[in-house]
Amino acid sequence: MEIRTFGDDTLRQRAQPVGDVDDTVRAECARMVEAMIRAGGIGLAAPQLGIAKRIIVLDVEGEFHVVINPEMVELSGEDEESVEGCLSVPGVNAPIVRKTAVHLAGTDLEGDAVEIRAEGFLARAIQHEMDHLNGVLFVDRLSTARRKSVLKEYRRLQEEET
């Protein structure tokens, strides 16, 4: 499966909740993990593969997570600015402000409840992937001028590849 990139309408849609966690959902999660690893990413949301479901996968600093129907219980800590990139906007990055801690709840591959309390880089990655489930890309969190500059660079890089 190809990772959808900037301009693809799927990336702008709000993902829908998953019903029962069955073999079809588990197979989609496996494809997501494979695509994330193949692309060298640390996280991936289902819409990035054109799957309009609320699923995220993460592999950050030795912590691996698959979360179905994730819900942000709490954002806390300080605001911190750090550079982010995205598999759906390849080749560019920009400083993004996010909270330093999160509490996430959802379901695992067995359909059991799971909670993640994270700080630092994992908290940032969770927030980034949750944005994808709501049709938000990291560039949307930039000022208008900065977004135009980053997207101009992205388009230049895409033209160079063709």
Catalytic residue IDs: 129
Contact 119, 104 (CB under 8 A): no
Rounded to whole angstroms, the Cα distance separating 5 from 59 reads: 20
Where do runs of H (alpha helix) occur along 6-162? 23-39, 120-133, 144-161
Closest-CA residue to 32 (of 63, 58, 12) = 58
Return the half-sphere exposure (C-beta side, CA atoms, 13 A cut-off) of residue 135. 9
